[in-house]
Amino acid sequence: MFFHPTFSPSERSDEKLPLRYFFVQLVAPNSNPNKDGESKSKPTNTSILNFSGFYKHLSQFATLVVLWFLSFSAFSQSQVVEKTHDIITKDGVSISSALQNCADVKNGISKEFVILNVYNENSFPVELSFKKNLWFDGKCTSCSSSSMEHLITITLEAESVMHGSCSTNNDLRIFSKMLNLEKVRKLTNYELVDITVDEIK
């Protein structure tokens, strides 16, 4: 199909017409000329079907997008419950934390996490390493452990930020407690130790 600007016969003249007089008319390639030698155009059934199919698919796509957002919000909801506070700054890398509630509505689970935020202020990429020492109910469960679960290594691009969340970057979050259960262990203290920052060349 081609797009052809047209105007009414009474408006055909040499004078310039305002833009509001013009409109775009769909012209089928197989238009039949009239007796004056001009093309007389009319939309074909094919063009009508094509546009009908297009809007049908567009409507289906919009519906899928809406359903995806609704299912995502129903599955996971989060809320920051404590303002961010700084933990440490070393060799151009700053680490801060904040408490965040994470609710898995679908499974009826609600947890509180300490979310770590890491900012590389350097103009070059770095590798950050540290160990998490965690106290639950007053007892350190990882101070004497060398488990990889508590040893964290991440790569940060120049002047970039990385942070944990309810569903991503698990290394940058610390479990605090269950919000919908009473008799479970709770995080009472934590610290980040053995912090190293190495430039990536």
Q: Is the pTM of this model over 0.75?
A: no
- Among residues of the chain, what percentage have pLDDT more than 90? 45
Fold adopted by 78-199: Immunoglobulin-like (2.60.40)
* Residue 104 reports pLDDT greater than 80: yes
Q: Where are the domains of the chain?
A: 2-74, 78-199
Give tens-digit pLDDT for 120-167.
999 999 999 999 999 999 999 999 988 898 999 999 999 999 999 998
Strands (E), 81-186: 85-90, 93-104, 109-120, 126-136, 139-140, 151-156, 160-163, 173-178
What does the DSSP 8-state code read for residue 17? P
pLDDT over threshold 90, residue 39? no
Q: How far apart are CA 127 and CA 120, in angstroms?
A: 10
- Amino acid found at 23: F
What is the pLDDT, as a whole number, of residue 142? 94
β-bridge pairing 109-120 and 173-178: antiparallel
Asked if 93 and 119 count as a contact pair (C-beta separation under 8 A), the reply is yes
Of the listed ranges 46-55, 117-126, 135-144, 168-177, the one predicted with least confidence: 46-55
The length of the chain, given as a count of residues: 201
